[in-house]
Structure 1
Amino acid sequence: MLNPGPVPIADYEREQTKAKRLVRTNTTILMATLFPPIRWVVTGYVPEGLAILAGRQKLGKTWLAIDFALAVACGGTAMGAISCKQGDVLYIDMENGPRRIQRRVETLYPHAHRRPDLSRLDWASEAPMLNNGFIEALDEWRLSVDEPRLVVIDVLQRIKPPGNANQNAYESDYAVLSGLQRWATGNGIAVVALHHTKKGGADDPLEALSGSNGMSACADTTLVLDKDQNGVTLYVRGRDVEEKESALKFTAGYWTVIGEASEVRRTDERSVIIEFLRDNREPITPTDLGAALGWKTNNTKQLLFKMAQKGEILREKGRYFLDAHNLDNRDNPGRL
């Protein structure tokens, strides 16, 4: 047998250190590759990959997650408006237990004979830690069902191991979630992990997650459920989703999306303006109206102008008012 000769130094060192090579793709090949479309679980809100659903305690995160789970399991609608493709769902609920889960489902479907087929929704009340068998447990479920589409973790903190003393909080959170994120994206499954927001909140609701920014940085999608004087808003931001703010309402266990938050709030503001003008009757300037309502003058001016254009109110010499003979202004053509 011929002696192959000495091994090149670079190859020898690579073999000795077990160093991994970079896996490269040429741009020409990359641009010619046909990738499958993003797999949506709840269109516009929850795509494949890891999603963090956060909010204050008792605000209804679990009800919203159950809404997603039921919609996917039976091929129904999420938030009363978004059709979901049917698939298999695993809901890991480590806080409520079987009795409370049963009550929640009965709240949503009080009549057993009208209850849809929910056989594609499985529940688990216990789970291993993220760094000690959790991914393997998910994979076992994935291989046991026909079409795995959604996993809900309620709540993330129950399976999150303590931070690593050799890492800062950001590094630790990112490292803990990275395996789960890779599993979700690699298998085309949506994993929605419930989490809490900071007590003090944040200027940007999507940066209000409790803990470090490592969580939102690792997650493919971040959803934050928040409530203020304007109502409940679901904020969404992610790698594959268009950033949005949706106004929601909650009634008897059901979450319903009303519409884009800015449009819904604007409608509410218009109602306030019409009510004010109806009560005061006298024409008023945008500055005075803004001061009376505690609104910014420029925003008030823009909204009044739009309302006058649509004939909702009248404008004359820079002042706005309702027609005294038509206080509802339903037939007002506008007078600009």
Structure 2
Amino acid sequence: MRTVDPLQLPTSFTITEARTADLGEHPRLLDGLLYVGLSVVFSAPGLGKSMLQAAVEEHLAFGRPFGHWMPEGPHRCMVVDLEGDMRLAAERSLTLTPWGLLPSDHGRPMPADIDYETEWPGHELAEKLARLDQRLTEAEQEGRPYSYVRIDTLRLFLGSKPHGVNAYEWDAWCLRQVNRLALQHGVCIVAVHHTNKAGELSGSTGIAGSAVAVMKLTPNPDNPDECLLVSEKVRVDAPFRYALEMDDKGRWSFTDAITPTQAQLTGTKRAVVDVLTSRGPRDAADLRAALPTINPNTLKAALRRLSREGITAYRRGRWELSQLTIADHPKCRLCDQPMTVVERGQDTHPQCVPDPGVEELARTWLGTPTVEIPAQPGPAIEEPEHQEEDQEEEHDHPETRRFPAFAEMKRGFEQRSRMHPLPRVVKAEREGKPWTLMSERMDGAHQSKGWTGPVPADDALIAVIDRNGSFPSACSSVPVAPNALTHTGALGVDVAERRQRGGIFQVVIPEWREEGTPHPLGRVGAVGETVWITSSAIEHMDKLAAAGRVKLLDVLDSWTGRRNASLFEPFYRWAKQLREATASEPQEVRDEAKRAISTAIRGLWPKQARSPFWRPDWNISIRAEASIRHWDRADKAVAGGAWLLSLGNTDEAVFVMPAGETDRLWVPEPYRIGPGFGQVKHKPIKLRTGEEVMSPMPYAQFKLRGVPRRERQR
């Protein structure tokens, strides 16, 4: 099967080639909303589409909350705002993110920023596009590429149509050039546009025909604080509809309080759908009783119109929402409330957890999960000293146990069938490259004995903290190649090229001069050594290079495929739900749940156990992603003034507490105490005397850490 880059589709082909090619998924920034290429968002003037896009940009660049989405990492953004100025940009940003919530407000560096341009050079469109191409190219060469560009407004950027030129041909040509530029650089360009007097997209149909996606923001005439964001066209994915609500500060937010269908309706039709949404199917008498202020004839006419529009259906003497409408705005399987679906397969709110009855059912029915879990990306991994699940022998097949982790992982791959994942390499190919290049140390795990920070005084208090759910959290957005790896050779220092690829890359380990943290690549190798690293590792090093903290890596060789970061999302959601459902269970049940999850991840690279999978690169990538998240969180703590003493393997971090700190639950920013994925807890350590002491403890006591001699002899 021929693999085709979705950003460089052939312009000449046969239908047989198209049917048999592996076209993969079109790259996107936010699944179900933002796609690489040109998107056009339009509405009537003054509705707030620029404010909505500003919220998108602060989400991408700063990680600010936005709906249920979570970016894979910080994305550099550019805004060409030809209608605004610095004052307006500052007002919008402070409205969306109050002062003090960003590190830059306190003089600390940001991993990504939003570049504003209120004037753009060039009189003709060709000159403007040439300048945009130059800016994108320069950013890529600097190692700080843009992921997102907003053009506000489209008409001001394109300029007036030349005299005598057909309007459709002009609009289509202009937008094709913008879309081609976006695909060439792998960025998402969002063009803000206005409606005409009829409320439709201003201009000719050539605008809609040349973009990857076209979306419209439509207000509700009965309620100015509600609107509907609906796709009029999506060429690379399924259409979408989202309900939005505006708060008292003029900020739009995605909401589950109403459905998209409710957001688009007014008057009696809205009142009827409100009743059917909240109460379920009702007969005519029930509807009249629920809506006593509406004339019965008016109600009957509204029901007929809703039926003709396919919103409601009359079955077995009762009115109900049609199956198409229900599918358009499903309810959460746990709380039975309306839910905005932001990814395929989602059927619960991210914040919902099973009630005691559901937990009891999960307990009695062999722990089989009762729901699928929505994604909420989290952090990092775990240290051999307390990784009981990783120490267990693999002689029993995991599917004989209570929690079917292998089945859930397999089902997750099936949900990503469009990627054509290859979860098992045939035995005949395992003795050749690239599989013989894989090694355990590619996970980049950090070892407490490998690096130690400045040594404190003996009476200084030491906080030993441990992160929860590190390995399964890494599954939320780990970059891998779902298909087989192919030899792609040297890629040099072209960041834009390698960020589209997942796999393994051969590089020389660069020097690391910062004393407050260990080397970002952990145990991969020594400085100056030629090694193989994963996609997670090279993307992490590229970000550090863009920040000027390390030399940009030169890729000497590579085995890669098309990059994808959502392959393991379904398994992550199931694992997160399982950990939450067993949180109140006895310790042995919790341990068994952890072992099931860990065994499935280990089963991607089985050594002795039976497994339906064999993808060492996936296994190593998950572990490397966890190590990187572990290092990154500690690095942010150090940047905030914390004193790091050591990093353990995957989830343990040891900090020196500030002098005078008396809070026994102290942890440095940005760590958070709690039981959830990515949160931390203080942990006990075992001393060489056999005694076990709880964090925090004096450094004099911490120095005695170790396994008692009698246990080592066993």
Matches within 5 A, 1:127-276: 127=120, 128-129=122-123, 131-145=125-139, 146-201=144-199, 208-229=200-221, 231-236=226-231, 237-251=233-247, 252-259=249-256, 260-262=259-261, 269-271=272-274
| Contact 1:108-1:253 within 8 A present in 2 as well | no
SS at match of 1:72: helix
Shift of 1:279: 6.6
CA distance in 2, matches of 1:115, 1:250: 27
CA distance in 2, matches of 1:49, 1:155: 17
Which deviates further from its counterpart, 209-218 or 136-145? 136-145
Out of 89, 99, 104, the residue aligned to residue 87 of structure 2 is: 99
Query: Once the two structures are aligned, what percentage of the paired residues are identical?
Result: 21
Call closer, same or farther: CA 1:129–1:191 in 2, change over 3 Å: farther
Residue 120 (structure 1) aligned with residue 116 (structure 2): no
Superimposed CA distance per residue, residues 168-189 of structure 1 (whole angstroms, 9 cap, x where no aligned partner): 1101111122211111122221
The alignment's C-alpha RMSD in Å is 3.3
| Contact 2:43-2:216 within 8 A present in 1 as well | yes
**TM-score (norm. length: structure 2):** 0.35
| Contact 1:129-1:159 within 8 A present in 2 as well | no
Call closer, same or farther: CA 1:24–1:113 in 2, change over 3 Å: closer
CA distance in 2, matches of 1:37, 1:271: 36
Higher percent of residues as strand: 1
Superimposed CA distance per residue, residues 205-227 of structure 1 (whole angstroms, 9 cap, x where no aligned partner): xxx11111111111111011111
Superimposed CA distance per residue, residues 235-284 of structure 1 (whole angstroms, 9 cap, x where no aligned partner): 11220131222211112242222255126668853545878525749xx9
CA distance in 1, matches of 2:111, 2:81: 17
Shift of 1:90: 0.4
| Contact 2:244-2:252 within 8 A present in 1 as well | yes
* Count of aligned pairs: 275
Which deviates further from its counterpart, 177-186 or 116-125? 116-125
SS at match of 1:241: coil
Shift of 1:143: 2.8
CA distance in 2, matches of 1:31, 1:307: 40
Out of 47, 66, 83, the residue aligned to residue 59 of structure 1 is: 47
Call closer, same or farther: CA 1:131–1:114 in 2, change over 3 Å: closer
Call closer, same or farther: CA 1:256–1:293 in 2, change over 3 Å: farther
SS at match of 1:302: strand
SS at match of 1:57: coil
CA distance in 2, matches of 1:226, 1:42: 21
Q: Any unmatched runs of 5+ in structure 2?
A: 1-9, 105-109, 277-285, 322-714
CA distance in 2, matches of 1:279, 1:222: 37
SS at match of 1:295: helix
Give the AA of the match of 1:302. Answer: Y
The aligned counterpart of 1:305 is: 318
Query: Which of the pair has the greater relative contact order for Cα pairs under 8 Å at 6+ separation?
Result: 1
Residue 277 (structure 1) aligned with residue 251 (structure 2): no
The aligned counterpart of 1:320 is: none
SS at match of 1:232: strand
Give the AA of the match of 1:39. Answer: P
Call closer, same or farther: CA 1:276–1:58 in 2, change over 3 Å: farther
CA distance in 2, matches of 1:224, 1:268: 24
| Contact 2:55-2:96 within 8 A present in 1 as well | no
CA distance in 2, matches of 1:23, 1:154: 31
| Contact 1:130-1:159 within 8 A present in 2 as well | no
CA distance in 1, matches of 2:64, 2:26: 20
Give the AA of the match of 2:99. Answer: H
Superimposed CA distance per residue, residues 20-67 of structure 1 (whole angstroms, 9 cap, x where no aligned partner): xx9744566656654453211221012111111100000011011111
Shift of 1:192: 0.3
Give the AA of the match of 2:130. Answer: E
Residue 82 (structure 1) aligned with residue 78 (structure 2): no
SS at match of 1:296: helix
The aligned counterpart of 1:326 is: none
Q: Any unmatched runs of 5+ in structure 1?
A: 1-21, 202-207, 309-336
| Contact 1:73-1:119 within 8 A present in 2 as well | yes
